[in-house]
């Protein structure tokens, strides 16, 4: 125990320390007084900026910040690569699920034994199998790094058991009896409830298109002409950003018999047609382009951005941004305006997900907003491994780690604008008419629908250029 009395040495030491602290405070105040006022200007920029109401987009500044998916260096993928990949997925989604208040008394699966009898407990795990018992109950095999457990969901519980897919990470609340876990509820990572719709101070808009398919015999030249006429007219005067979400060309050798459906069979020629289109767009419009499964990058997701080899005439343009698939892109962030965060994902996994989930099979192709909600609830763009060609990277870039303001997809050639928990959902339309290949796979084209979002109000609308 220390002394209860102050010595002379202790008092002197305290005085010296106090004087030193006072000098540091004075120096800090002097630095604040001498600071360059420009260093703080950004914090007040939107408040002090001149109103842009009535100005055209060409007279308003732009801001584009890109956060691409991480693509590891090319090389062999071995068993350990897949183990690391799924562990990364599990840990990322576990961190999101641990924020859910419904998961009370959370424990690891390895904590249970075949004699465990616990009430009111929760676990987080990856689904490794879903089946039906003879009694009609749903049996979910769940595992985490500590062990495995069999989860029983009683018949007709209606807690989401019919929507579960392999490889997704979920939380389950319930009780155990003799080593079996009986589920009372299934908890998904989901996105939080919104505090409002994000907007910006300037009167600018963003346009969203996808699946142009240059080089295809079924490419609709009329839609292209009407689009360019619209975007250069007074109707498109507020457009500041254009998002093109993959499959910009039809590609070569994508499916059997494709040659007969091409008017341009050279892949470089197809990208040349796309470049000509981009060059016709006014250069004050910032163009963000990601690849899709028809494009000449690896088909495995995440897909890296286009390279100069195929887009040599636009890759260095100041208003063109070549990004990975998927990517987060923040636009129009100035000062107090945080900007609008857009998640771009081409959507190659969606057909497989729709085929696997009963309620999506009924309406997912014509109404793609439902599959978009499905993946947002799971915070993963391709929950079951195999619905897309996933690359086992060091981290799983298909995890929806950040909540976007706008979620854009394509691939299905349908069209939808909707909203889920404050997120604007856009399934972008196409410039391609119905093709024999689409007939075979069950896709129904809805071409010429242009999605426009007013970033000042948050309002989203469709401009129909189909005829």
Distance of CA 305 to the CA centre of its chain: 16
Confirm if 84 and 392 have CB atoms less than 8 A apart.
Answer: yes
Tell me phi and psi for residue 380, to 5 degrees.
-150, 135
Sheet holding 286-290, edge to edge: 320-322, 286-290, 239-245, 205-209, 449-454, 460-464
Q: Output the pLDDT for position 237.
A: 95
Helix (H), strand (E), coil (C) string for 26-74: HHHHHHHHHCCHHHHHHHHHHHHCCCCCCCCHHHCCCCEEEEECCCCCC
Tracing tokens 């989860």 back to the chain, one arrives at 151
Q: Output the pLDDT for position 51.
A: 63
CA dist., res. 165 & res. 356, Å (int):
8
Q: Output the pLDDT for position 152.
A: 96
- Of 393, 397, 389, nearest in space to 300 by CA: 389
Q: Kindly tell me if the per-residue pLDDT of 360 is higher than 50.
A: yes
Q: Which of 206-210, 316-320, 334-338, 425-429 has the lowest mean pLDDT?
A: 334-338
> Average pLDDT in the 59-77 region?
80
Neighbours of 7 (CB within 10 A): 9
Q: Output the pLDDT for position 75.
A: 63
What is the dotted CATH code of the domain comprising 101-187? 2.40.50.1010
Tell me phi and psi for residue 313, to 5 degrees.
-90, -10
Q: Output the pLDDT for position 8.
A: 44
Which of the two residues, 35 and 337, has the higher pLDDT score?
337
User: Partners of 241 in the beta sheet?
Assistant: 206, 286
User: Partners of 425 in the beta sheet?
Assistant: 407, 418
Domain range 57-75+193-464, CATH class = alpha beta
Indicate the Cα dihedral angle 302, 308, 312, 318, nearest 10°: 80
> Average pLDDT in the 289-305 region?
94
- pLDDT tens per residue, range 131-188: 999 999 999 999 999 999 999 999 989 999 999 999 999 999 999 988 889 999 999 9
Domain residue limits, the chain: 57-75+193-464, 101-187
Contacts of 394 (CB under 8 A, 6+ apart): 70, 72, 84, 85, 88
Tracing tokens 């005439």 back to the chain, one arrives at 313
Q: Kindly tell me if the per-residue pLDDT of 6 is higher than 70.
A: no
**Confidence class of residue 71 from pLDDT cuts 50, 70 and 90?**
low
Q: Output the pLDDT for position 337.
A: 87
Q: Output the pLDDT for position 443.
A: 87
Burial environment of residue 288 by CB neighbours within 10 A (0 to 12, 13 to 18, 19 or more): buried
> Average pLDDT in the 74-101 region?
88
Contacts of 368 (CB under 8 A, 6+ apart): 347, 350, 409, 412, 414, 415, 416, 427
Mean pLDDT of the chain: 88
Instruction: Count Cβ neighbours within 10 Å for each residue of 305-340 and write b for 16 or more, e otherwise.
Output: bbeeebbeebbeeebbbbbbbbbbbbbbbbeebebb
Q: Kindly tell me if the per-residue pLDDT of 45 is higher than 60.
A: no
* Percent of the chain residues topping a pLDDT of 70: 87
> Average pLDDT in the 443-452 region?
95
> Average pLDDT in the 267-285 region?
98
Contacts of 136 (CB under 8 A, 6+ apart): 155, 156
Q: Which of 52-66, 143-157, 338-352, 422-436 has the lowest mean pLDDT?
A: 52-66
* Percent of the chain residues topping a pLDDT of 90: 75
> Average pLDDT in the 263-289 region?
98
State in Å, rounded, how far the first CA of the chain is from the last one: 89
Half-sphere exposure of 89 (CA within 13 A, CB side): 30
Q: Output the pLDDT for position 243.
A: 98
Which SS3 state, helix, strand or coil, does residue 10 take? helix
Sheet holding 340-344, edge to edge: 64-68, 327-331, 340-344, 406-409, 423-427, 416-420
What's the CA angle centered on 93, arms 401 and 195, to 5 degrees? 50
Contacts of 280 (CB under 8 A, 6+ apart): 228
Conformational region of residue 46, where left means phi above 0, alpha means psi within -120 to 50, and beta covers everything else:
alpha
Confirm if 323 and 289 have CB atoms less than 8 A apart.
Answer: yes
**Confidence class of residue 336 from pLDDT cuts 50, 70 and 90?**
confident
**Confidence class of residue 23 from pLDDT cuts 50, 70 and 90?**
very low
The two domains 57-75+193-464 and 101-187 share their CATH topology (first three levels equal): no
Which of the two residues, 125 and 72, has the higher pLDDT score?
125
Q: Output the pLDDT for position 335.
A: 83
């Amino acid at each position: 125990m220390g002394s209860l009395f102050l010595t002379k040495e202790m008092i002197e030491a305290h005085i010296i320390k106090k004087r030193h602290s006072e000098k540091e405070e004075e120096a800090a105040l002097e630095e604040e007084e001498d600071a360059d006022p420009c260093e703080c200007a950004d914090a007040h920029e939107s408040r002090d900026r001149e109103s842009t109401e009535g100005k055209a987009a060409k007279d308003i500044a732009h801001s584009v910040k890109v956060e691409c998916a991480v693509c590891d260096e090319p090389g062999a993928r071995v068993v350990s690569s897949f183990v690391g990949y799924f562990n990364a997925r599990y840990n990322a989604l576990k961190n999101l699920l641990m924020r859910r208040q419904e998961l009370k008394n959370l424990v690891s699966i390895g904590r249970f034994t075949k004699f465990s009898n616990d009430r009111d407990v929760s676990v987080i795990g990856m689904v490794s199998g879903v089946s039906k018992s003879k009694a009609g109950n749903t049996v979910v095999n769940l595992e985490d790094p500590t062990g495995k457990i069999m989860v029983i969901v009683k018949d007709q519980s209606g807690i989401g058991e019919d929507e579960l897919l392999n490889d997704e990470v979920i939380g389950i609340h319930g009780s155990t009896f003799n080593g079996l876990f009986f589920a009372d509820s299934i908890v998904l990572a989901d996105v939080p409830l919104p505090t409002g719709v994000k907007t910006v101070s300037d009167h600018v808009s963003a346009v969203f298109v996808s699946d142009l398919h240059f080089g295809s015999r079924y490419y609709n030249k009329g839609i292209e002409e009407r689009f360019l006429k619209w975007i250069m007219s007074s109707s498109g005067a507020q457009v500041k950003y254009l998002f093109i979400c993959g499959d910009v060309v039809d590609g070569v050798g994508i499916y059997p018999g494709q040659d007969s459906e091409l008017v341009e069979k050279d892949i470089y020629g197809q990208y040349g047609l796309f470049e000509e289109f981009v060059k016709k767009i006014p250069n004050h419009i910032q163009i963000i382009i990601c690849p899709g499964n028809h494009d000449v990058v690896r088909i495995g997701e995440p897909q890296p951005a286009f390279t100069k080899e195929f887009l040599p005439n636009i890759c260095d343009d100041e208003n063109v941004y070549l990004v990975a698939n998927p990517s987060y892109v923040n636009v129009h962030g100035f000062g107090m305006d945080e900007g609008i965060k857009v998640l771009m994902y081409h959507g190659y996994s969606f057909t497989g997900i729709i085929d696997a989930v009963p309620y999506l099979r009924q309406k997912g192709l014509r109404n793609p907003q439902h599959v978009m909600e499905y993946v947002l609830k799971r915070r993963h763009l391709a929950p079951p491994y195999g619905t897309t060609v996933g690359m086992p990277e060091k981290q799983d870039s298909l995890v929806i780690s950040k909540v976007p303001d706008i979620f854009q997809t394509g691939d299905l050639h349908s069209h939808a604008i909707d909203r889920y928990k404050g997120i604007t959902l856009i399934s972008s339309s196409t410039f391609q008419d119905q093709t024999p290949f689409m007939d075979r796979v069950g896709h129904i084209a809805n071409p010429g629908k242009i999605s426009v979002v007013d970033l000042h109000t948050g309002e989203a609308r469709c401009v129909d250029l189909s005829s």
